[in-house]
Amino acid sequence: MPKSKSKSKLNKSMITSITAVIELSEELESSKCNCSTEKLQVLQQLNSQSSSSSVIPSKLKPRKSSRKLCYSNILSELFIINNNKINEQKGEIYSTPIAKSIILEKHETFANQILKTFDKIDDLPYCFTKNNLQTQMKYRMISLIADPFSDQMDRMETSVQLKINLLRINHIHLNSRLPVKIISTPIWTRYAVHVVVQDENTHCLRLSIYNWSYIMNTRQIKSYNYIQECLTRLLPINSCIVILDPWFKMCHDGEIGLRCESPNTHLLMIDFETRCSTSNRINVDQLRQWGNTCYQADDNLGAIQFYTYGLRQIDEQQEKELTSKGKSIGPKTDECEQHRIRLLSNRCACYLRERHAALALADTSILLSINELSHVLESPKTTAGKLLFRCLSAHLHLGLFDKVESLIKSHKFNIGLRNGENLAAITILERELIRLRDENIKGRYDLQGMLYEQISIHKNDKPPLMFIDLSHYHAECNRNDLFEVRPCRPEELTKNGYPKGSYGIYALKNIEPGTLLIVEQPFASIDNRVIGEQRCYSMNFWQTNEKNSTIEYCNDDILRLLNEVEKQLLIGNNSWITFDKIKLMQPIRQWLIERKNDNETEQENNNDTSELLDNDQMLVLSKKQWQQPFSKRLSPPTSHIPWRILFETQQQNPFRSKSTLGWYPLGSMFNHSCLPNCLWYLIGDNLFIYVCASNIRQGDELTISYCPLWISSLNQRTFQLRQFSITSCRCLLCSYDRSNMPQYEIELKKFSNLRALSRQKNLSCSKRFNYIEKLNHIYEFITKKFRQRSIGFINEFIDLESISKYIQYENNNDNINEDKIQTFLNEQQLSFLQRLSRVCRLTIKDLPKIGNPIFLFGTQIELLIHHLEHCHTHVHTCDLKQWNRLLECLYEIFTFKCHVSTSNMQKTLNDHKQLFTNLLQTQIFLQDSSILK
């Protein structure tokens, strides 16, 4: 494509984006939808044939990761918040509240408008919601306590009671409470629930509840109907709630209302809680049914809550009966026990689905504590059978393989397991037990099988239920005999440019390439493919610096993952083990240390001690302390953690694949290097990290790459690393590249410009060839000029090869350069192995011992395989054998010895081909630069 044409096309697309943004902005401004703090806007309808990308401005499309916008000025305009209005009214007391009828009428109009919007969404392909994360960054808190309700009750008791006409506008009333009654049906927009509330004086206000775990999208995406059902259970008309630290504000739409940013900590569902815990209001059966409804919708947090209410009611009933009979301990009634077993079994299923195996095991422990099981097994057969399996699964998930084996063999389990339908299941269980043991103890995984499964799962397939579908479940593996997680020493911090207080992973021994280090299951994860099919995109933005108004934004999937993190914490809060898992992740760890320092400083000040521990000493002390797990009975050092800290943790998280985004606490202790010695990939949501470089000596740091491998441009790598808060990487590659600036970058830029030109469609063969010759010239130049670089220009090598291959298969209609082209291609082919060896820093004498196997990881090996398959006649038989040995060795390393290659050349080639085809389809760290392939 000629330069001018491509430029005009670019301009055109920019104009489209800007126009659409302005249109959107204007629509937002003039919207009649006055009752909402967020306004739903629908972009013009696509005609059914046109692709989404032609209409949605590219800048509006959700990004895979959070990054700075180049259109920040336009967006600043678009998102301008009417601060003036807010400031005008700051602090004023709302002494004459607006009439109830007006508020209710507005609410109804809004409800109708929202309904229409939801209707419209079914017809319209895309819809955008703007979502300002500023308030979440400031006010949203994540609860870390076991019983949030009693914590809220405690806070309520010590707070001052307020009424609506005593509230100050734009003010957060700390240490206060506002008891209110629900007087309208709640309305759900995608981010908030709006409802009208009334105080004891019958004064009314709109209350907007944001970030409510009951209805938020987590790993599960909740349907509109399901959310409506939840809301009728949670906020029925006339029910009472208490708002803690009420925030009364002028909203963006000019309306005055209450805003609750952190309902899990600030909204006391007093009526809901009483209804669920008092047996004469809602009975155990009803609670179980509500739990089952949640469970069917895969809302396991909701289900756990209802089953727990049910169990509590049974306990209370029993206690009451016992005290009324004057007995301290007496026989439990059969009916009660049946109820209890059912509830425990169901709750256990939820815990297993959410991978809280320890909690699941606690729920099944009733089975282990009963000596004579026949009594339990008299309960409906299916319940008892299920509970037995759940008990075994919980043990399996915890890696207690020997225990599972002995339980299966034990007499008491046999009664329940060896009958009819259970027999088949037990056979499967016994088989999977062998596999899981191999995975956990020997680190042997069927990688190719797992990858294949991953690509063959259809996008809309629901993930299998883990406790039944054991074949999809994989054990964790942790070779902590080979490495340690420890704070970096001062000299390591300086050398690598890591921030103060950084941790890293260090080898405890010399480690061979192809050694598996960890297979980790996520703390929380989401399937990020689902979101691509959602019709509603939101622009989640926040200002990093209020003075210069830099606007950043992130994708919906990041918010969904953070909601999932919160959900995991809420589920696991009754055992501190859950928070314990993430407390070492950098931003969380630092926050805890800062808090500890603050608290101690405060204490010291109070004690009037002027002598403070110096900072470094404090860090060392704190680190030791954080490394120890919290005792089960002790609470974490803090009852709430700001959501912002979780957000920052996510900003440093490199672990995502084409299908999954997750938190891996151990994996996230690895630091980055552009020339790493370890590789990682996600298969499903299992994270694999293994050593792939040679020469790892005891004490060496083990590193991974956070960005795609083999990007030659230092600028590009720096840009990518910035999203992980790494401003200037000091690895070997970056240091070398930086020392050769600016020429280094200029030459690469020349290469990439020419590459773009050579990839244009509809070029004549000779023109394309012209570009290829120039490309080759630059490639040769940089290869020589920067020969001291630890690794050659792999991506440029791949590009050149694939463009040359393209020309080989292209119809050459102008015969001008035919001979020249053919000669060039022949030479390229003949010199391929030599050039590959040069770029991957292999020397023939090294064969089959590879200098550094990691250099061959990527599309370059695909090219090698292609070459050996199609051009083997050019290769000397003796050399061919050596290359085959090299490939065999590499295959073992890349699959960390899970798959052994045979000396059958064709098989080795096929194995590699399959592995890399599958990795390319599932991972994002391998760039498929061969676009013309």
Candidate segments 116-124, 664-672, 743-751, 844-852, binder of ligand SAM by CB under 6 A: 664-672
Is 543 a binding residue for ligand SAM by CB under 6 A? The answer is no
* CA 168 centroid distance within chain: 39
Is 503 a binding residue for ligand SAM by CB under 6 A? The answer is yes
Is 735 a binding residue for ligand SAM by CB under 6 A? The answer is no
Of 671, 550, 636, 612, which is closest to residue 73 (Cα–Cα)?
Answer: 550
Whose Cβ is closer to ligand SAM: residue 310's or residue 654's?
654
Among residues 440, 671, 817, 884, the one that binds ligand SAM under rule CB under 6 A: 671
Q: What is the pairing mode between strands 160-161 and 176-182? A: parallel
CB 270 within 8 A of CB 240: yes
Helical segments of 380-489, H only:
381-397, 401-409, 411-417, 421-437, 447-456
Whose Cβ is closer to ligand SAM: residue 418's or residue 500's?
500
Question: What one-character-per-residue DSSP string does 365-391 give?
Answer: HHHHH-S-THHHHTS-HHHHHHHHHHH
Is 66 a binding residue for ligand SAM by CB under 6 A? The answer is no
Candidate segments 101-109, 309-317, 566-574, 723-731, binder of ligand SAM by CB under 6 A: 723-731
In whole angstroms, give the CA distance from residue 692 to residue 892: 10
Beta bridge partners of residue 506, listed in sequence order = 484, 701
State in angstroms the smallest separation of the CB of 667 from ligand SAM. 8
In whole angstroms, give the CA distance from residue 135 to residue 89: 19
Candidate segments 381-389, 518-526, 539-547, 668-676, binder of ligand SAM by CB under 6 A: 668-676
Among residues 498, 663, 664, 857, the one that binds ligand SAM under rule CB under 6 A: 498
Candidate segments 60-68, 335-343, 444-452, 670-678, binder of ligand SAM by CB under 6 A: 670-678
In Å, what is the CA distance from 54 to each residue of 4, 17, 25, 49?
Answer: 21, 10, 20, 11
- Binding-site size for ligand SAM (CB under 6 A) equals 18
In whole angstroms, give the CA distance from residue 441 to residue 475: 9
Among residues 672, 755, 789, 912, the one that binds ligand SAM under rule CB under 6 A: 672
Candidate segments 158-166, 176-184, 327-335, 666-674, binder of ligand SAM by CB under 6 A: 666-674
Whose Cβ is closer to ligand SAM: residue 135's or residue 652's?
652
Is 586 a binding residue for ligand SAM by CB under 6 A? The answer is yes
Of 799, 460, 503, which is closest to residue 667 (Cα–Cα)?
Answer: 503
x/- string (CB under 6 A) for ligand SAM, residues 351-370?
A: --------------------
Whose Cβ is closer to ligand SAM: residue 502's or residue 808's?
502
CA angle 839, 842, 846 (to 5 degrees): 175
State in angstroms the smallest separation of the CB of 2 from ligand SAM. 41
| Binding residues among 94-123 for ligand SAM as defined by CB under 6 A | none
State in angstroms the smallest separation of the CB of 701 from ligand SAM. 10
Whose Cβ is closer to ligand SAM: residue 689's or residue 726's?
726
Is 502 a binding residue for ligand SAM by CB under 6 A? The answer is yes
Whose Cβ is closer to ligand SAM: residue 733's or residue 775's?
733
Among residues 726, 765, 794, 800, the one that binds ligand SAM under rule CB under 6 A: 726
In Å, what is the CA distance from 90 to each residue of 94, 140, 168, 547?
Answer: 11, 22, 8, 20
State in angstroms the smallest separation of the CB of 204 from ligand SAM. 47
Is 668 a binding residue for ligand SAM by CB under 6 A? The answer is yes
Is 499 a binding residue for ligand SAM by CB under 6 A? The answer is yes
In Å, what is the CA distance from 164 to each residue of 42, 140, 193, 670, 736?
Answer: 35, 23, 20, 52, 65
CA angle 878, 881, 885 (to 5 degrees): 145
Among residues 71, 118, 506, 724, the one that binds ligand SAM under rule CB under 6 A: 724
State in angstroms the smallest separation of the CB of 571 from ligand SAM. 24
Among residues 133, 391, 729, 898, the one that binds ligand SAM under rule CB under 6 A: 729
Is 733 a binding residue for ligand SAM by CB under 6 A? The answer is no
CB 404 within 8 A of CB 392: yes
Candidate segments 78-86, 104-112, 450-458, 499-507, binder of ligand SAM by CB under 6 A: 499-507
Among residues 185, 549, 635, 652, the one that binds ligand SAM under rule CB under 6 A: 652
Among residues 231, 404, 669, 765, the one that binds ligand SAM under rule CB under 6 A: 669
Whose Cβ is closer to ligand SAM: residue 721's or residue 803's?
721
Q: Is 742 exposed, middle or buried (0-12, 13-18, 19+ CB in 10 A)?
A: exposed
State in angstroms the smallest separation of the CB of 7 from ligand SAM. 37
In whole angstroms, give the CA distance from residue 704 to residue 690: 9
CB 248 within 8 A of CB 174: no
In whole angstroms, give the CA distance from residue 585 to residue 626: 11
Whose Cβ is closer to ligand SAM: residue 578's or residue 649's?
649
State in angstroms the smallest separation of the CB of 503 from ligand SAM. 4
Candidate segments 69-77, 88-96, 230-238, 665-673, binder of ligand SAM by CB under 6 A: 665-673
In Å, what is the CA distance from 2 to each residue of 15, 30, 752, 776?
Answer: 20, 42, 15, 21
Whose Cβ is closer to ligand SAM: residue 17's or residue 496's?
496
Question: What one-character-per-residue DSSP string does 238-268 give?
Answer: T-EEEEES-EEEE-TTS-EEEEES-HHHHEE
State the Rg of the chain over Cα: 31
What residue type is 410 in one-letter code? S
State in angstroms the smallest separation of the CB of 699 from ligand SAM. 17
* CA 767 centroid distance within chain: 46
Whose Cβ is closer to ligand SAM: residue 405's or residue 492's?
492
DSSP designation for 875: S
Candidate segments 292-300, 388-396, 512-520, 671-679, binder of ligand SAM by CB under 6 A: 671-679
Whose Cβ is closer to ligand SAM: residue 254's or residue 499's?
499
State in angstroms the smallest separation of the CB of 894 from ligand SAM. 24
Whose Cβ is closer to ligand SAM: residue 359's or residue 682's?
682
DSSP designation for 899: S
Whose Cβ is closer to ligand SAM: residue 570's or residue 734's?
734
* CA 479 centroid distance within chain: 24
Whose Cβ is closer to ligand SAM: residue 129's or residue 496's?
496
CB 563 within 8 A of CB 213: yes
Residue 553's H or E segment, with its range, is strand 550-554
CB 398 within 8 A of CB 358: yes
Candidate segments 79-87, 431-439, 669-677, 845-853, binder of ligand SAM by CB under 6 A: 669-677
State in angstroms the smallest separation of the CB of 669 from ligand SAM. 5
| Cβ neighbours of 819 (radius 10 Å) | 9
Beta bridge partners of residue 198, listed in sequence order = 181, 204
Whose Cβ is closer to ligand SAM: residue 554's or residue 842's?
554
x/- string (CB under 6 A) for ligand SAM, residues 228-257?
A: ------------------------------
The residue whose two tokens read 């994989």 is 474
Is 725 a binding residue for ligand SAM by CB under 6 A? The answer is yes
In whole angstroms, give the CA distance from residue 875 to residue 857: 22
Is 736 a binding residue for ligand SAM by CB under 6 A? The answer is no
What residue type is 914 in one-letter code? Q
Judged by the rule CB under 6 A, the positions of this chain that interact with ligand SAM are: 496-499, 502-504, 586, 652, 668-669, 671-673, 724-726, 729
